[in-house]
DNA sequence: CCTGAATGATACCACATTAGTATCATTTGT
DNA sequence: ACAAATGATACTAATGTGGTATCATTCAGG
Protein backbone atom coordinates (compact mmCIF):
# COMPACT_ATOMS: atom_id res chain seq x y z
CA UNK A 1 0.00 0.00 0.00
CA UNK A 2 2.80 2.40 0.77
CA UNK A 3 5.99 1.93 -1.20
CA UNK A 4 9.52 2.74 -0.09
CA UNK A 5 9.52 5.84 -2.21
CA UNK A 6 6.67 7.26 -0.16
CA UNK A 7 8.06 5.83 3.03
CA UNK A 8 11.50 7.41 2.59
CA UNK A 9 9.98 10.69 1.50
CA UNK A 10 7.88 10.83 4.64
CA UNK A 11 10.85 10.08 6.80
CA UNK A 12 13.01 12.71 5.20
CA UNK A 13 10.28 15.32 5.42
CA UNK A 14 9.68 14.49 9.07
CA UNK A 15 13.36 14.85 9.77
CA UNK A 16 13.49 18.23 8.09
CA UNK A 17 10.34 19.40 9.77
CA UNK A 18 11.54 18.40 13.20
CA UNK A 19 14.75 20.38 12.95
CA UNK A 20 13.30 23.27 11.11
CA UNK A 21 13.63 25.65 14.05
CA UNK A 22 17.40 25.44 14.10
CA UNK A 23 18.09 25.14 10.39
CA UNK A 24 16.28 25.14 7.10
CA UNK A 25 18.71 23.70 4.61
CA UNK A 26 19.60 20.03 4.52
CA UNK A 27 21.99 18.44 2.05
CA UNK A 28 21.05 14.98 0.85
CA UNK A 29 24.23 13.44 2.21
CA UNK A 30 23.32 14.33 5.76
CA UNK A 31 19.73 13.11 5.58
CA UNK A 32 20.75 9.89 3.89
CA UNK A 33 23.20 9.07 6.59
CA UNK A 34 20.95 9.98 9.48
CA UNK A 35 18.00 8.03 8.10
CA UNK A 36 20.04 5.21 6.63
CA UNK A 37 18.62 5.58 3.17
CA UNK A 38 20.87 4.97 0.12
CA UNK A 39 22.12 8.41 -0.84
CA UNK A 40 21.56 8.42 -4.62
CA UNK A 41 18.09 7.02 -4.17
CA UNK A 42 17.06 9.59 -1.62
CA UNK A 43 18.52 12.24 -3.83
CA UNK A 44 16.27 11.23 -6.67
CA UNK A 45 13.26 11.28 -4.40
CA UNK A 46 14.03 14.74 -3.10
CA UNK A 47 14.54 16.00 -6.63
CA UNK A 48 11.07 14.79 -7.47
CA UNK A 49 9.63 16.50 -4.42
CA UNK A 50 11.42 19.64 -5.54
CA UNK A 51 9.80 19.45 -8.96
CA UNK A 52 6.43 19.00 -7.31
CA UNK A 53 6.96 22.01 -5.08
CA UNK A 54 7.00 20.10 -1.82
CA UNK A 55 10.65 20.96 -1.37
CA UNK A 56 12.76 23.80 -2.56
CA UNK A 57 16.33 23.16 -3.64
CA UNK A 58 19.49 25.26 -3.58
CA UNK A 59 22.45 24.33 -5.69
CA UNK A 60 26.11 24.84 -5.16
CA UNK A 61 28.28 24.64 -2.12
CA UNK A 62 26.31 25.00 1.08
CA UNK A 63 23.17 24.13 -0.81
CA UNK A 64 20.57 21.50 -0.13
CA UNK A 65 16.84 21.12 0.27
CA UNK A 66 14.33 22.88 2.45
CA UNK A 67 10.60 22.50 2.97
CA UNK A 68 8.58 24.26 0.32
CA UNK A 69 5.70 24.90 2.71
CA UNK A 70 4.89 24.40 6.39
CA UNK A 71 4.55 20.78 7.55
CA UNK A 72 0.88 21.34 8.33
CA UNK A 73 0.31 21.67 4.62
CA UNK A 74 2.26 18.65 3.45
CA UNK A 75 -0.26 15.85 3.15
CA UNK A 76 0.71 12.22 3.13
CA UNK A 77 -1.95 11.57 0.54
CA UNK A 78 -0.19 13.92 -1.85
CA UNK A 79 3.08 12.10 -1.36
CA UNK A 80 1.35 8.86 -2.19
CA UNK A 81 0.00 10.42 -5.33
CA UNK A 82 3.39 11.73 -6.33
CA UNK A 83 5.24 8.45 -5.92
CA UNK A 84 2.57 5.89 -6.58
CA UNK A 85 0.51 7.67 -9.17
CA UNK A 86 -3.02 8.96 -8.78
CA UNK A 87 -5.60 6.70 -7.23
CA UNK A 88 -7.32 5.62 -10.37
CA UNK A 89 -10.28 3.40 -10.59
CA UNK A 90 -11.89 5.68 -13.10
CA UNK A 91 -12.36 3.00 -15.63
CA UNK A 92 -13.86 -0.33 -14.84
CA UNK A 93 -11.88 -2.32 -12.33
CA UNK A 94 -12.69 -5.37 -14.32
CA UNK A 95 -12.17 -5.36 -18.02
CA UNK A 96 -15.54 -4.78 -19.55
CA UNK A 97 -17.85 -7.63 -20.39
CA UNK A 98 -18.32 -8.84 -16.83
CA UNK A 99 -20.30 -5.86 -15.99
CA UNK A 100 -23.73 -5.05 -17.09
CA UNK A 101 -23.19 -1.36 -17.30
CA UNK A 102 -20.41 0.69 -15.89
CA UNK A 103 -22.92 3.01 -14.29
CA UNK A 104 -24.85 0.39 -12.41
CA UNK A 105 -22.33 -2.28 -11.52
CA UNK A 106 -22.36 -3.05 -7.85
CA UNK A 107 -18.74 -4.05 -7.58
CA UNK A 108 -17.58 -0.92 -9.25
CA UNK A 109 -19.74 1.23 -7.03
CA UNK A 110 -18.33 -0.40 -3.94
CA UNK A 111 -14.77 -0.05 -5.08
CA UNK A 112 -15.22 3.59 -5.89
CA UNK A 113 -16.86 4.21 -2.54
CA UNK A 114 -14.07 2.43 -0.73
CA UNK A 115 -11.51 4.49 -2.51
CA UNK A 116 -13.27 7.71 -1.60
CA UNK A 117 -13.40 6.63 2.01
CA UNK A 118 -9.71 5.78 1.92
CA UNK A 119 -8.74 9.11 0.52
CA UNK A 120 -10.87 11.06 2.94
CA UNK A 121 -9.40 9.17 5.87
CA UNK A 122 -5.86 9.80 4.72
CA UNK A 123 -6.52 13.38 3.80
CA UNK A 124 -6.17 14.66 7.32
CA UNK A 125 -2.69 13.26 7.88
CA UNK A 126 0.17 15.66 7.39
CA UNK A 127 3.85 15.64 8.15
CA UNK A 128 3.05 17.86 11.10
CA UNK A 129 0.51 15.45 12.52
CA UNK A 130 2.91 12.53 12.21
CA UNK A 131 5.52 14.58 13.95
CA UNK A 132 3.29 15.54 16.80
CA UNK A 133 2.70 11.89 17.59
CA UNK A 134 6.41 11.40 17.67
CA UNK A 135 6.98 14.25 20.07
CA UNK A 136 4.41 13.02 22.54
CA UNK A 137 5.83 9.53 22.73
CA UNK B 1 -6.39 -3.30 -6.63
CA UNK B 2 -7.90 -6.17 -8.57
CA UNK B 3 -5.53 -8.17 -10.75
CA UNK B 4 -6.37 -9.91 -14.00
CA UNK B 5 -6.35 -13.25 -12.25
CA UNK B 6 -9.21 -12.16 -10.05
CA UNK B 7 -10.88 -10.30 -12.88
CA UNK B 8 -10.89 -13.27 -15.23
CA UNK B 9 -12.01 -15.60 -12.48
CA UNK B 10 -14.97 -13.38 -11.70
CA UNK B 11 -15.93 -13.21 -15.32
CA UNK B 12 -15.76 -16.94 -15.82
CA UNK B 13 -17.75 -17.60 -12.68
CA UNK B 14 -20.40 -15.08 -13.71
CA UNK B 15 -20.68 -16.72 -17.09
CA UNK B 16 -21.13 -20.13 -15.54
CA UNK B 17 -23.60 -18.88 -12.97
CA UNK B 18 -25.70 -17.12 -15.56
CA UNK B 19 -26.16 -20.23 -17.69
CA UNK B 20 -26.44 -22.62 -14.86
CA UNK B 21 -30.13 -23.30 -15.44
CA UNK B 22 -29.56 -24.82 -18.85
CA UNK B 23 -26.24 -26.56 -18.23
CA UNK B 24 -23.78 -27.14 -15.47
CA UNK B 25 -20.60 -28.22 -17.18
CA UNK B 26 -18.37 -25.84 -19.08
CA UNK B 27 -15.13 -26.78 -20.82
CA UNK B 28 -12.36 -24.19 -20.65
CA UNK B 29 -12.20 -23.84 -24.41
CA UNK B 30 -15.74 -22.55 -24.61
CA UNK B 31 -15.40 -20.07 -21.74
CA UNK B 32 -12.10 -18.80 -23.05
CA UNK B 33 -13.55 -18.08 -26.44
CA UNK B 34 -16.72 -16.47 -25.17
CA UNK B 35 -14.91 -14.24 -22.68
CA UNK B 36 -11.86 -13.63 -24.86
CA UNK B 37 -9.41 -14.81 -22.26
CA UNK B 38 -6.26 -16.70 -23.34
CA UNK B 39 -7.19 -20.34 -23.04
CA UNK B 40 -4.18 -21.79 -21.20
CA UNK B 41 -4.24 -18.94 -18.75
CA UNK B 42 -7.90 -19.34 -17.94
CA UNK B 43 -7.35 -23.02 -17.61
CA UNK B 44 -4.75 -22.50 -14.94
CA UNK B 45 -7.04 -20.18 -13.05
CA UNK B 46 -9.94 -22.60 -13.11
CA UNK B 47 -7.66 -25.36 -11.91
CA UNK B 48 -6.75 -23.24 -8.94
CA UNK B 49 -10.39 -22.56 -8.23
CA UNK B 50 -10.98 -26.28 -8.41
CA UNK B 51 -8.27 -26.92 -5.83
CA UNK B 52 -9.82 -24.31 -3.59
CA UNK B 53 -13.25 -25.88 -3.91
CA UNK B 54 -14.87 -22.97 -5.70
CA UNK B 55 -15.24 -25.11 -8.80
CA UNK B 56 -15.55 -28.80 -9.35
CA UNK B 57 -13.83 -30.38 -12.32
CA UNK B 58 -14.64 -33.40 -14.47
CA UNK B 59 -12.00 -34.94 -16.64
CA UNK B 60 -12.27 -36.80 -19.88
CA UNK B 61 -14.35 -36.25 -22.93
CA UNK B 62 -17.43 -34.23 -22.23
CA UNK B 63 -15.80 -32.97 -19.04
CA UNK B 64 -15.23 -29.44 -17.84
CA UNK B 65 -15.85 -27.29 -14.78
CA UNK B 66 -18.97 -26.56 -12.80
CA UNK B 67 -19.66 -24.36 -9.82
CA UNK B 68 -18.67 -25.96 -6.54
CA UNK B 69 -21.42 -24.11 -4.65
CA UNK B 70 -24.27 -21.75 -5.40
CA UNK B 71 -23.29 -18.28 -6.65
CA UNK B 72 -24.74 -16.71 -3.52
CA UNK B 73 -21.95 -18.32 -1.60
CA UNK B 74 -19.06 -17.37 -3.85
CA UNK B 75 -17.64 -14.16 -2.42
CA UNK B 76 -15.50 -11.81 -4.42
CA UNK B 77 -13.36 -11.21 -1.39
CA UNK B 78 -12.45 -14.89 -1.31
CA UNK B 79 -11.39 -14.77 -4.94
CA UNK B 80 -9.17 -11.84 -4.15
CA UNK B 81 -7.61 -13.76 -1.33
CA UNK B 82 -7.06 -16.80 -3.53
CA UNK B 83 -5.34 -14.92 -6.32
CA UNK B 84 -3.78 -11.98 -4.55
CA UNK B 85 -2.97 -13.50 -1.21
CA UNK B 86 -4.31 -12.39 2.14
CA UNK B 87 -4.64 -8.70 2.89
CA UNK B 88 -1.60 -8.11 5.01
CA UNK B 89 -0.63 -4.94 6.71
CA UNK B 90 0.36 -6.68 9.88
CA UNK B 91 3.73 -5.12 10.14
CA UNK B 92 4.44 -1.43 10.00
CA UNK B 93 3.57 0.22 6.72
CA UNK B 94 6.62 2.36 7.04
CA UNK B 95 9.94 0.84 7.92
CA UNK B 96 10.57 1.65 11.57
CA UNK B 97 12.33 4.82 12.59
CA UNK B 98 9.70 7.17 11.25
CA UNK B 99 7.23 6.13 13.76
CA UNK B 100 7.31 6.89 17.40
CA UNK B 101 5.80 3.63 18.45
CA UNK B 102 4.04 1.07 16.40
CA UNK B 103 1.16 1.11 18.84
CA UNK B 104 0.49 4.82 18.76
CA UNK B 105 1.35 5.86 15.22
CA UNK B 106 -1.47 7.75 13.62
CA UNK B 107 -0.72 6.72 10.07
CA UNK B 108 -0.58 3.08 10.89
CA UNK B 109 -3.85 3.26 12.80
CA UNK B 110 -5.57 4.85 9.86
CA UNK B 111 -4.24 2.38 7.37
CA UNK B 112 -5.35 -0.57 9.44
CA UNK B 113 -8.78 0.94 9.90
CA UNK B 114 -9.11 1.60 6.19
CA UNK B 115 -8.22 -1.96 5.39
CA UNK B 116 -10.84 -3.28 7.80
CA UNK B 117 -13.43 -1.03 6.25
CA UNK B 118 -12.45 -2.21 2.80
CA UNK B 119 -12.81 -5.85 3.65
CA UNK B 120 -16.14 -5.40 5.36
CA UNK B 121 -17.50 -3.51 2.37
CA UNK B 122 -16.37 -6.14 -0.08
CA UNK B 123 -17.56 -8.99 2.08
CA UNK B 124 -21.14 -8.74 0.95
CA UNK B 125 -20.44 -9.03 -2.77
CA UNK B 126 -20.96 -12.42 -4.36
CA UNK B 127 -21.09 -13.76 -7.87
CA UNK B 128 -24.84 -13.84 -7.52
CA UNK B 129 -25.07 -10.19 -6.55
CA UNK B 130 -22.91 -9.17 -9.49
CA UNK B 131 -25.11 -11.21 -11.76
CA UNK B 132 -28.33 -9.74 -10.48
CA UNK B 133 -27.12 -6.29 -11.48
CA UNK B 134 -26.38 -7.61 -14.90
CA UNK B 135 -29.84 -9.04 -15.40
CA UNK B 136 -31.56 -5.84 -14.44
CA UNK B 137 -29.66 -3.71 -16.88
C1' DC C 1 38.80 32.38 -11.90
C1' DC C 2 39.30 27.90 -10.32
C1' DT C 3 37.83 24.23 -7.45
C1' DG C 4 34.80 21.49 -4.84
C1' DA C 5 30.36 20.80 -2.95
C1' DA C 6 26.01 20.56 -3.95
C1' DT C 7 21.67 19.67 -7.12
C1' DG C 8 19.39 18.62 -12.21
C1' DA C 9 18.46 15.29 -15.43
C1' DT C 10 18.46 10.93 -17.20
C1' DA C 11 19.84 6.43 -18.42
C1' DC C 12 20.68 2.23 -16.62
C1' DC C 13 20.55 -2.23 -13.71
C1' DA C 14 18.49 -5.79 -10.36
C1' DC C 15 14.77 -7.95 -8.43
C1' DA C 16 9.93 -9.30 -7.56
C1' DT C 17 5.42 -9.80 -9.10
C1' DT C 18 2.08 -10.39 -12.52
C1' DA C 19 0.65 -12.23 -16.93
C1' DG C 20 0.77 -15.76 -19.97
C1' DT C 21 2.69 -20.17 -22.55
C1' DA C 22 4.11 -24.94 -23.18
C1' DT C 23 4.32 -29.68 -22.16
C1' DC C 24 3.49 -34.04 -20.59
C1' DA C 25 0.64 -37.02 -17.79
C1' DT C 26 -3.94 -38.69 -16.53
C1' DT C 27 -8.79 -39.48 -16.97
C1' DT C 28 -12.95 -40.79 -19.50
C1' DG C 29 -16.81 -41.07 -23.05
C1' DT C 30 -17.49 -43.08 -27.55
C1' DA D 1 -7.93 -47.25 -29.39
C1' DC D 2 -8.74 -42.48 -29.71
C1' DA D 3 -9.93 -37.96 -28.91
C1' DA D 4 -11.41 -34.63 -25.62
C1' DA D 5 -10.96 -32.96 -21.56
C1' DT D 6 -8.36 -31.68 -16.95
C1' DG D 7 -3.85 -32.15 -13.47
C1' DA D 8 0.50 -30.59 -12.65
C1' DT D 9 4.35 -28.01 -13.37
C1' DA D 10 8.00 -25.66 -15.56
C1' DC D 11 9.06 -22.03 -18.38
C1' DT D 12 8.97 -17.23 -20.64
C1' DA D 13 7.54 -12.33 -21.07
C1' DA D 14 6.09 -7.91 -19.38
C1' DT D 15 5.69 -4.76 -15.81
C1' DG D 16 6.70 -2.30 -11.52
C1' DT D 17 9.68 -1.28 -7.72
C1' DG D 18 14.05 -0.33 -5.70
C1' DG D 19 18.38 1.31 -6.48
C1' DT D 20 22.91 2.90 -9.12
C1' DA D 21 25.78 5.63 -12.21
C1' DT D 22 27.00 9.47 -14.90
C1' DC D 23 27.44 13.79 -16.74
C1' DA D 24 25.90 18.51 -16.71
C1' DT D 25 24.95 22.68 -14.04
C1' DT D 26 25.11 25.91 -10.29
C1' DC D 27 27.45 28.53 -6.88
C1' DA D 28 30.26 29.74 -2.42
C1' DG D 29 34.88 30.55 -1.13
C1' DG D 30 39.74 30.99 -1.55
S1 LIG E 1 -16.64 -3.80 -12.19
FE2 LIG E 1 -16.62 -2.50 -13.91
S3 LIG E 1 -18.70 -2.10 -14.51
FE4 LIG E 1 -18.66 -3.59 -12.94
S1 LIG F 1 3.53 3.78 10.15
FE2 LIG F 1 4.36 2.15 11.27
S3 LIG F 1 4.46 2.83 13.39
FE4 LIG F 1 3.79 4.45 12.15
Strand partners, A56: A66
Q: How far is the CA of B39 from the C1' of C23 (A)?
A: 15
Q: Over 50: is that where the pLDDT of A50 sits?
A: yes
Determine whether the shortest distance from the Cβ of B111 to ligand 2 is under 6 A. no
The secondary structure of residue B57, as a DSSP letter, is E
pLDDT at B113: 82
Report domain extents, chain B.
4-136
pLDDT at A94: 54
Q: Report yes or no: B35 at the A interface, CB cutoff 8 Å.
A: yes
SS3 assignment, position B96: coil
Model confidence pLDDT, tens digit, residues A6-43:
989 999 999 999 999 999 999 999 999 999 999 999 99
Query: Helix count (H) and strand count (E) of chain B?
Result: 6, 2
Which residues of A are less than 8 Å from B136 in CB distance? 100, 104
Burial letters for B102-127: b for 16+ Cβ neighbours within 10 Å, e otherwise?
Answer: eeebbbbebbeebbeebeeebeebbb
Q: How far is the CA of A121 from the C1' of C27 (A)?
A: 54
Question: Which ligand ends up closest to the CA of A108?
Answer: 1
Contact assignment for A98 to B11 by CB distance below 8 Å: yes
Asked whether the beta carbons of B79 and B17 are under 8 A apart, the reply is no
Q: How far is the CA of A95 from the C1' of D2 (A)?
A: 39
Model confidence pLDDT, tens digit, residues A80-128:
999 998 776 544 555 545 555 545 567 777 777 887 888 888 888 999 9
* Residue ID of nearest Cα to ligand 1 atom 1: A108
Question: Which ligand ends up closest to the CA of B102?
Answer: 2
Fold (topology level) of B4-136? Arc Repressor Mutant, subunit A (1.10.10)
Query: Considering only CA atoms, which of A91, A88, A87, A120 is closest in space to residue A108?
Result: A91
Q: Over 50: is that where the pLDDT of A44 sits?
A: yes
Contact assignment for B98 to A10 by CB distance below 8 Å: yes
Contact assignment for B36 to A101 by CB distance below 8 Å: no
Q: Report yes or no: A61 at the B interface, CB cutoff 8 Å.
A: no
**A121-125 CB contacts, 8 Å cutoff, 24+ apart:** A121/B110, A121/B113, A121/B114, A122/A75, A122/A76, A122/A77, A122/A80, A122/B110, A122/B114, A123/A75, A123/A77, A125/A75, A125/A76, A125/A77, A125/B106, A125/B107, A125/B110
Amino acid sequence: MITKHTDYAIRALCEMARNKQSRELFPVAELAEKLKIPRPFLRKLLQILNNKGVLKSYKGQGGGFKLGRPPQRIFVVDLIRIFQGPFKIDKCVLSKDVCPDVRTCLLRKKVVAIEKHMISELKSITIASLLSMKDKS
